[in-house]
A = this chain, B = another copy of it.
Amino acid sequence: MNIDVIISASDIKPGKLKNRIVVVIDVLRATTVMITALSNGCEKVIPVKEIEEAIEVARRDRSRYLLGGERKGLKIENFDFSNSPLDYTSEVVEGKTLVMTTSNGTRAIKNSEEAERIFIAAMINGRAVARKLVELNEDITFINAGTNGEFSIDDFITSGYIISCIKDLKAGACTLTDIAITSEYIYKNNTNIISFAENALHYNRLKALGYDEDLRYCLTKDTVDIVPEYKSGEIEVW
C-alpha cells in the first residue's frame, strides 16, 4: 500500500489520481459537515461548485432539499444552513438531501473525479476511514482541500492522523511518500491536534469569527463511525 498526500485542491494534476483510492479532507469544516449530516440521518449530500447550481438543484423540491455551505466562512444568502456542523442536527436533516457548496471542500471533491473511489474524511471519522482503507488495501491519495488553493495545517494534521491509524491497524508495510511521512510526523508530534492547529491561518480566521465550538467539534477524533463515499455526484453511506 502506497500512501501519498496532495496538499491543496489546486495542486491536483491530471492523471495523478487515476486508479487510486482518494480520501478528501476539509476538516474545517466542509467534510466534517457532510459526515455529521449523514451520521444524523441525512440521506445524501450533493456537493456542487457554484451557489447558482445549488439553488437550481434545491428548487426542484424545497421540502426535500436543504441548502448548506459558505463563502468566506459565512452563510450564503437564502441558504438554510451555514458551514457549521452544529447546524446539522437529526431534527433538521433526517430524511433530507443536503445540497452543499463551499470554498474549498466541494471543489476538492469535484477535482478528484478521475479517482477510482472517493471517500470523505475528517477527524470525527478518522479511525473509521483508516479501517476501511486497510480493508481495501489499495494505493491511497489523501487530498487536503486546503484554504483558497493553499496548504492548510488543519487538513494536513488530519491526513497525518489517518495515516497513523492505518499504520496501527495494518499488518503489512505501507510505503509513504515524503509528504505523507511529513504529514504523519506533524500528527505524531501533536497528538492533541489543537497545539499545532493553533498555528493555522484558517483555524485562527474561524476563531476570530467566533466559531470556538465548531473548532472543538471538528478537531475531536472519532466521534462518528461512518465512511461516506462520493459516487456519480452524490455522497452517501452506500
Contacts and interface: CB of A to CB of B under 8 A. Distances in A.
Interface string A143-172: 000010011110010000000000000000
A156 B201 CA distance: 20
Interface stretch (A5-13, A77-85, A113-121, A213-221): A5-13
Contacts of A11: 11
Contact of A185 (B13, B179, B186, B202): B186
Given A10-B13, A13-B10, A199 B186 contact: no
A181 B153 CA distance: 9
A111 interface: no
A196 B181 CA distance: 10
B189 A177 contact: no
A6 to B, nearest CB: 10
A182 interface: yes
B186 A182 contact: yes
A153 B180 CA distance: 10
A138 interface: no
Nearest to A181: B199
Contacts of A74: none
